[in-house]
Chains A and B, each alone.
Chain A
Amino acid sequence: MSATLQMIPARPAPPKAADRLTASRLLGYLWLAFWAVLGLGLLYLMVTGFDPEKFAKYGPRYLSGIGVTATLVSVSVVAGAVLSLPITFARMSKNPVLNAIAYTYVYIFRGTPLLAQLYLLYYGIGSFKPQLEAVGLWWFFREAWYCGFLSLTMNTAAYQAEILRGAILSVPRGQTEGAKSLGIPSRIAFRKIILPQALIVALRPYGNEIILMIKGSAVVAVVTVLDIMGETRYAFSRTFDYQTYLWAAIFYLLIVETLRHVWDWLERRLTRHLKR
């Protein structure tokens, strides 16, 4: 029997691999450099092309455009959420007629472009002026803002209904059964047990939907609503200055990125009891 009495002396660490310039690294640097050049170029364009007169004239208009976009999106998201509730329940009901109606609604609004829906409301329904005046609804369809609001609401209601339905279906059956075995009425079980769990699942899709709405709301500019996009088109048609679009891009990117980070924080905060 033999035993090793002597330890093997520690070996030096393997030599560090040389920091080679691989193709992908080169591409990454080039691409980053491209972004940097693009960003600096746009900055240069904005600094050299800065015109205090235009700024004084269109600056406040941009701010009011941001206000219009913010109001339009928040009002329609809330109204869409309210409208999505009956659609969700109709879609989940066992009544085949209700189910078919809700399914058709969702399919139609998700299958056609928002712009076409907007045209149909604003120009299409708006062409029935005498009839609308007779019913007393002309004040609503006369205003582009109201039409934009209605089409955004109906569009987002279809998407939110699907989000909510998916979230409610994602709650395991055992939760309902558990509530039943405890003798909790189904109405209360839904409100206090199913819905809170479903809303946590729905949180991220809802955030995405709000971002999609902010981006989608830009189309209302086409029917003369002066939101960010509308003010941009107005300013561009007056000045033919390409900067107007860059400002709009900056505003939209800022809004969307801020919202995304706020939503990430919100989700982390609300799901901290699920973290292990």
Chain B
Amino acid sequence: MDGVFSVLDPLLSGLGHMVDPLCGPVGVFSFFPPDSIVACGATGWGDEIAAGLKATLGLALATLPVGLTLGFFIALALQSSEPALRRAAGIYTTIFRGLPELLTLFIVYYGAQILIQSAFAAMGFDQRIEINSFFAGMIALSVVFSSYCSEVLLSAFRAIPKGQYEAGDALGLSRTNTMVLIIVPQLVRIALPGLMNLWMNLLKDTALVSVIGLAELLRQTGVAAKVSKQAFFFYLLACALYLVLALLSSFVLGFIERRVKRAEMGR
């Protein structure tokens, strides 16, 4: 197995390098002269910024499935017939929609650190523990994403007529099957515009994780700005790269939306 990976790994990284939009053979930064400040090498900041862009995208893409799943179950809890469940889910959304994202991030980051440290201290180990900022950022952003997502999904749930559930019952489908086969496909269609907005917000919120030290886009450009003393250029570059990410995702999301809308055409 190890042998397969040792062959695959350089192959994959080589492939990744080929299509790298910033530092690859046809990357943006490779059009600049090799001694320029954004060149991809030891002298320029191009490769660092490219790595930061990858970290930003990776964080957003890792947060999305967790946040969506959590948000789906919280939306289910919010529309449950059980008052206790509704109340508990309501507390969750109130807290995480009321707190600034930056504060949630700090609370998760330092809170997890203190919790783990005190747990270790209780077991007899005494050492400083620093948790991974990617992981902390992912948890904090997922929690924030899920609480907004639950709100979007809840209003989508309300837009689906009750007859759809009754039809599922009449066909003898189980609860799970009704949900998966009948409700969710319609839910996605209704909730998609709201979810697209949330994705854009998520992409922007990843910038906050730079504050707890994740080497993502804004952090990397910030380091470059401090070292090279060209703050304006590098922060402008950061803004431009975020804009490119937003543009690209609106293209992709537009494609998904058209694709999902196809089912509606027949009606």
Contacts and interface: CB of A to CB of B under 8 A. Distances in A.
A29 interface: yes
A116 interface: yes
A113 B211 contact: no
A22 B106 CA distance: 37
Interface in A67-89: none
A253 interface: yes
A242 interface: yes
Contact of B83 (A28, A31, A246): A28
B84 A120 contact: no
A124 to B, nearest CB: 4
Interface stretch (B26-34, B188-196, B234-242): B234-242
Interface stretch (A9-17, A170-178, A188-196, A215-223): A215-223
A130 interface: no
Which 3 residue pairs spanning A and B have beta carbons closest together?
A: A28-B84, A28-B85, A31-B88
B225 interface: yes
16 contacts: A28-B83, A32-B88, A35-B91, A108-B239, A111-B246, A111-B247, A112-B239, A112-B242, A116-B235, A117-B239, A119-B218, A120-B232, A127-B232, A221-B102, A245-B111, A252-B99
Given A24-B82, A24-B85, A116 B102 contact: no
Interface stretch (B10-18, B129-137, B160-168, B199-207): B199-207
A218 B239 contact: no
A113 B204 contact: yes
B89 to A, nearest CB: 7
A112 B232 contact: no
A248 interface: yes
A215 B242 contact: no
Contacts of A123: 222, 225, 231, 235
Interface in A201-242: 214-219, 221-222, 229, 232, 236, 242
A245 B110 contact: yes
A65 interface: no
A182 to B, nearest CB: 37
Contacts of A248: 103
Interface size for chain A: under 10, 10 to 19, 20 to 34, or 35 or more residues? Answer: 35 or more
Given A111-B243, A120-B239, A126-B231, A218 B85 contact: no
Q: Is the interface of A mostly helix, strand, loop or mixed?
A: helix
Nearest to B106: A245
Interface in A19-46: 22, 24-25, 27-29, 31-32, 34-35
Contact of A253 (B80, B98, B238): B98
B218 A120 contact: no
A249 interface: yes
Contact of B207 (A113, A124, A246, A253): A113
B206 to A, nearest CB: 8
A114 interface: yes
Interface in B169-225: 200, 204-208, 210-211, 218, 222, 225
Contacts of A25: 82, 84-85
A245 B95 CA distance: 14
A208 to B, nearest CB: 10
A50 interface: no
B101 interface: yes
A92 interface: no
A257 interface: yes
Interface in B69-119: 77, 80-89, 91, 94-95, 98-103, 106-107, 110-111, 114
